[in-house]
């Protein structure tokens, strides 16, 4: 995703500019502004002068903090177009040029940099709001059924999408085995049997959609699950478990979504047994 279209990144940059401004203000507190005739940018004297009695160690610590904070926002000026025009030099990045205020012939004055901070924050926040409004609606993987994401998460975060799908499918079928106490049949056959339209028998419980079993919607769900669950096993679990190649993040996400839906439906089903 491009930086200007990533609202989280833009907000993080705005916070980084705020941190830079705070560090700079703390550094400036150890100085006084040179308000004489040479204080204007382009003059001979530095724009700020160190106060008497300032601890050298503290001064160096704050100088280092400002420098680090400046480095963290190196991408801000080109991203938001935040430059200051300096006669004879052209456009200056005010965040990169902050140290010039302590040097002879300063390029900028403190007020220039502080104003640039506020403008950059405003531009970044405006860009973040625009980017947020343009984002398509999304549902993250962490919003999936806990059983599915709990099994898939560690592998998914490492980029092992096929393995994550396989682990999630295994977790789901293992839960069904535990719930129905069926360890005597293969996985595809298990799905076919637990959703079979035959009545439960000793050692062969069934999963049924809750409600009056003759109700049209209930019947539709039971018939659908009888086909959907084994189909998911064959098309998702088996191809992930027995495949050798990688799959894309999008492919993995779609497969996990199917497993998550199936897991929620299974959780809603009632166990019918004799």
Provide CB contacts within 8 A for 17, sequence distance 6+. Answer: 73, 76, 95, 117, 120, 121, 124
State the pLDDT at residue 68: 98
Whether residue 124 contacts residue 17, with contact meaning beta carbons closer than 8 Å, is answered with yes
Range list of H helices, the chain: 7-28, 56-72, 76-80, 110-134, 146-157, 161-180, 187-194, 216-232, 238-242, 249-268
Q: What's the rounded Cα separation, in Å, for the pair 116 and 77?
A: 9
Q: Which residue has the tokens 């035959």?
A: 198
Q: 166-191 as b/e, with b when 16 or more CB fall inside 10 Å? A: bbbbebbbeebbeebebeeeebbebb
Q: What is the mean pLDDT of each run of 10 residues along the chain (274 residues)?
A: 83 97 97 69 78 95 97 96 92 96 92 97 96 76 88 92 95 96 92 95 96 95 96 94 86 94 96 94
Query: Which DSSP string do the residues of 2-21 spell out, in sequence order?
Result: -GGG-HHHHHHHHHHHHHHH
Contact 191, 233 (CB under 8 A): yes
Three-state DSSP class for 107? coil
Map tokens 């004799």 to a residue.
Answer: 274
Q: Which pTM does this prediction carry?
A: 0.56
């Amino acid at each position: 995703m491009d930086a200007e279209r990533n609202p989280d990144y833009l907000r993080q940059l705005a916070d980084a500019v705020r941190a830079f401004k705070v560090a700079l203000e703390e550094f400036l507190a150890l100085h006084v502004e040179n308000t004489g005739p040479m204080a204007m940018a382009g003059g001979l004297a530095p724009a700020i002068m160190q106060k008497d009695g300032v601890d050298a160690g503290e001064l160096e610590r704050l100088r280092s903090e400002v420098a680090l904070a400046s480095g963290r926002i190196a991408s801000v000026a080109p991203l938001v177009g935040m430059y200051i025009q300096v006669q004879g030099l052209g456009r200056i990045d005010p965040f990169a040029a902050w140290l010039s205020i302590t040097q002879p012939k300063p390029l900028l004055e403190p007020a220039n940099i502080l104003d640039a901070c506020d403008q950059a924050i405003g531009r970044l926040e405006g860009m973040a709001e625009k980017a947020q409004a343009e984002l398509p609606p999304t549902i993250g993987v962490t919003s999936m059924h806990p059983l599915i994401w709990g099994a898939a998460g560690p592998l998914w975060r490492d980029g092992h999408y096929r393995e994550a799908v396989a682990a999630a499918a295994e977790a789901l079928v293992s839960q069904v085995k535990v719930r129905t106490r069926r360890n005597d049949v293969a996985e595809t056959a298990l799905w076919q049997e637990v959703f079979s339209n035959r009545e439960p028998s000793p050692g062969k419980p069934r999963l049924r959609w809750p409600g009056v079993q003759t109700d049209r919607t209930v019947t539709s769900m039971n018939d659908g699950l009888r086909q959907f669950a084994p189909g998911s096993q064959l098309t998702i679990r088996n191809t992930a478990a027995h495949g050798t190649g990688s799959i894309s993040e999008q492919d993995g996400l779609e497969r996990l979504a199917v497993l998550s839906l199936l897991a929620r439906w299974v959780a809603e089903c009632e166990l019918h047994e004799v």
